[in-house]
Structure 1
Amino acid sequence: MVSSKTTALNADALEFLRKARESARLPFQEMAPEEARKLYESSCCMTAFSVTELAQTQDLSVATAQHAVPIRIYRPMRSAPGGSPAILYIHGGGWVLGSISTHDAICHMLATSVDAVVVAVDYRLAPDYPFPAGFNDVLAAYHFVCHNATELGIDPTRVALAGDSAGGALAASLALALRTEVDVPPIAQVLFYPVTDISTESQGYERVQDGSILTAQTMRWFRDHYAPRSLDRHDWRASPMKAQSLHGAAPALIITAAHDPLCEEGGAYAERLERDGVPTTHVHLEDQMHAFLTMGGIIPSARVPFDYAVQFLRQRLFPSE
């Protein structure tokens, strides 16, 4: 369980919040989705990690029956003979915001730090495309990676999932679906401050009402756009905690932050994975807030949990090292 007593928020995060207040920036829930997307794009660009080593990139699309799903492939300069391991990365943004561009720095860094091919998915966003559109898109992207592994230079037996926030929810649900969807399921999942249950509100919604980049009010705005029907919020593809069993999912790393309304549900999901027999590591950060991963340029300490995730992924993707 997460303690109700937390240490003070990281000083760099506090400084960001102070400047945000002084700018009189409206919270996302008081904007139209398109306006909020523009703000999120510009904010992520300004606060992203500074990338020191670039990966080679290639933009492709995954054809489905109704539409094409854009993806971007990041390749490290060092390629493994016989196919490289891969990471399917799913961006956050409450299913309403975000894109490949908002998480571009993270994907560059994952590719070069893990020595893996990273496949970023530009899934459809709510409210234009509510649940289950986003889930269907990331599932299609995973199938594309598996079916085209040879052409992509990927070893299909060494594929991991990763995502932050709403992307963490999609990654968690994808890990559950792929237990039976493919011959070789993913071998790891990394979830940064994930959403795991939108059918209810955890204690974190009471704790974080204002003064943070993500509040209870913002989460409700995201949830209402993504899953306006109450019935959909109980679907495990939207709320992975609602799955009957988590047994057989990929070994997990879950990273939570104390100053985050999603903290409790992330911790509860880690506990549930363990109970259902899934090897799970839960890293809890007492002095961090939601979205620190996309703010590495102004919160230098965000590099610590990022590097921990890199270590976890390397251990799973390069088991013989």
Structure 2
Amino acid sequence: CVMAIFEGCLAVMAAVTATLTYKFFAFPIPPQAEETYKRRTLLLFWWILQSWIKFKLCFVKGHEIMMARVEAPPRSYPEDTVVTEDTEMMGVPVRIFRPKEASDDKLPGVIYYHGGGWCWDLWEAYDATLRVVARLDKMVIVSVRYRLAPENPFPAGPDDCFVVTRHVLENTETLGMDPENITLMGDSAGGNLAMVMMIKLLSSSKKIDNLPNVKNLVLIYPALQAMNFKLPSYKQHRGSNIPTILSSEIMVKFYVAYALGMEFVGVEELLQNSHWSEEMEAKSTCRWIQKEADSLREATESDPKHRNSLLAKKVNKYFLDPHFSPLLADDKILKRFPNTYVLSAEMDPLRDDSFLLVKRLNELGVRVKHRHWESMDHGFIGITILYKNAQKALEEVVEYLKQQSTDDI
């Protein structure tokens, strides 16, 4: 009996090992990708997590997005040249990064909005990334821990971010920041929030309470629109057998959770653009996106095969709001944007959002720099412990900010 159990365990272990080995080498890594074995390892761990969630959902009721949350444990950096302070601004938790050596000089300021699909608390996970940025150049960074969907859907997250943004701009002297050198920065969903903050600051007909102007906007593979889910980058990253942790299906689930909270709608219908409506087609910004989508590489027909008016009514009051989909903001707002740096990754369903934004800002005369990483995937900049290119990308961002600090044009 004992031998039979032992043999059974060996058989199970052999089957699991064979499955994981097959999956490790089965991911379709494109030839331009770098650090492929590290990438395969990350994708394998992500596939295991997704498989475990699907298994749990067979027995436990719950929200898939919430089940996938994994909190990063706090880390200590006793020898670091950067010190941090956890505090609150207007009731919102923040972490402030600053040089360990005290200085009377006013330092460049950065307000950072973390990624995670508006649903995952990656605030702690970004600690290492922001320390890298703070080490590369002396600056003060404020990282915002905004409320998360689906428990706190739109506009809870942007509301938290805005009260912190405004508080920082009102208190640059207290924070030791140079009011003439403030940057808004974010990645993925945080890139969305950074751009939304810029829109909100510029939406007033006059300067809000004499706040200092934001000098730079840094958007790292941002999520910018929920209008067209049939862009080439969305089509290329559907399913589970893809070279990135972010699939098109997961991205749409994030959008739904952000908009509707705990309510579910058909992801597959949204991926087919079944939420298109006459209201959407009447908006000039939506027409521009559709026209430019046709010019993207490998572009195909975006029109939906069928339309679902009930779905459109439910989601489009959020999807068409520029504070939700900032790519839909009016020209009169976007043309007032500061120096903008856009970073995109090739293996990313959000890739084409960045290309559309860069084209639109260029047409409006905004000074924009676009850095496209052909060899990398979504989320890479937050994994400095794994990818060498994450460090390199952060160095390029900081170098850009240094150049803007000395450029009076």
Question: Quick check: TM above 0.5?
Answer: yes
Please say if 1:81 is aligned against 2:109: no
Which of 218, 230, 249 pairs up with 2:316?
Answer: 230
Structure 1 position 61, deviation (Å): 0.9
Instruction: Summarize the Cα distance change of 1:27–1:186 in structure 2 as closer, same or farther, 3 Å threshold.
Output: farther
SS in 2 for 1:26: helix
Whether the 8 Å CA contact 1:123–1:137 is kept in 2: the answer is: yes
Question: How large is the RMSD of aligned CA atoms in angstroms?
Answer: 2.4
1:214 aligns with 246
1:26 aligns with 51
**Which amino acid is the alignment partner of residue 120 of structure 2?**
L
Instruction: Summarize the Cα distance change of 1:56–1:318 in structure 2 as closer, same or farther, 3 Å threshold.
Output: farther
Q: What whole-Å deviation, never above 9, does each CA across 1:58-104 have from its counterpart, x for those lacking one? A: 112122xxxx2111100013555342110001000000013320211
1:121 aligns with 144
Q: Structure 2 CA distance, aligned partners of 1:282 and 1:98?
A: 28
Greater mean deviation of Cα atoms: 266-275 or 149-158: 149-158
2:89 aligns with 62
Please say if 1:185 is aligned against 2:213: yes
1:239 aligns with 325
* Number of aligned positions between the proteins: 304
**Which amino acid is the alignment partner of residue 220 of structure 1?**
V
TM-score, normalising length: structure 1: 0.87
1:99 aligns with 122
Q: Structure 2 CA distance, aligned partners of 1:94 and 1:28?
A: 17
Instruction: Summarize the Cα distance change of 1:37–1:163 in structure 2 as closer, same or farther, 3 Å threshold.
Output: same
Instruction: Summarize the Cα distance change of 1:27–1:218 in structure 2 as closer, same or farther, 3 Å threshold.
Output: farther
Please say if 1:248 is aligned against 2:275: no
Structure 1 position 24, deviation (Å): 5.7
Q: Structure 1 CA distance, aligned partners of 2:50 and 2:158?
A: 31
**Which amino acid is the alignment partner of residue 356 of structure 2?**
A
SS in 1 for 2:219: strand
1:111 aligns with 134
1:167 aligns with 190
Q: Structure 1 CA distance, aligned partners of 2:140 and 2:388?
A: 25
Please say if 1:13 is aligned against 2:39: yes
Identity of aligned residues (%): 28
Q: Structure 2 CA distance, aligned partners of 1:28 and 1:190?
A: 33
**Which amino acid is the alignment partner of residue 233 of structure 2?**
G
1:196 aligns with 224
Q: Structure 2 CA distance, aligned partners of 1:98 and 1:316?
A: 31
Give the 4+ runs in structure 1 shifted more than 3 A.
Answer: 18-21, 23-34, 50-54, 78-82, 180-183, 317-320
User: Which blocks of at least 5 consecutive residues in structure 2 are unaligned?
Assistant: 1-29, 58-62, 261-314
**Which amino acid is the alignment partner of residue 205 of structure 1?**
Y
Instruction: Summarize the Cα distance change of 1:79–1:283 in structure 2 as closer, same or farther, 3 Å threshold.
Output: farther
Instruction: Summarize the Cα distance change of 1:24–1:87 in structure 2 as closer, same or farther, 3 Å threshold.
Output: closer
In terms of Rg, which structure is larger?
2
Q: Structure 2 CA distance, aligned partners of 1:261 and 1:51?
A: 38
Q: Structure 1 CA distance, aligned partners of 2:53 and 2:226?
A: 18
**Which amino acid is the alignment partner of residue 129 of structure 1?**
N
Q: Within 5 A, what are the aligned runs for 1:125-136?
A: 125-136=148-159
**Which amino acid is the alignment partner of residue 226 of structure 1?**
Y
Instruction: Summarize the Cα distance change of 1:279–1:294 in structure 2 as closer, same or farther, 3 Å threshold.
Output: same
Greater mean deviation of Cα atoms: 116-125 or 80-89: 80-89
Q: Structure 1 CA distance, aligned partners of 2:121 and 2:33?
A: 25
Instruction: Summarize the Cα distance change of 1:121–1:24 in structure 2 as closer, same or farther, 3 Å threshold.
Output: closer
Which of 122, 132, 141 pairs up with 2:164?
Answer: 141
Q: Structure 1 CA distance, aligned partners of 2:49 and 2:177?
A: 46
Bigger RCO (CA 8 Å, 6+ sep): 1
Q: Structure 1 CA distance, aligned partners of 2:81 and 2:123?
A: 15
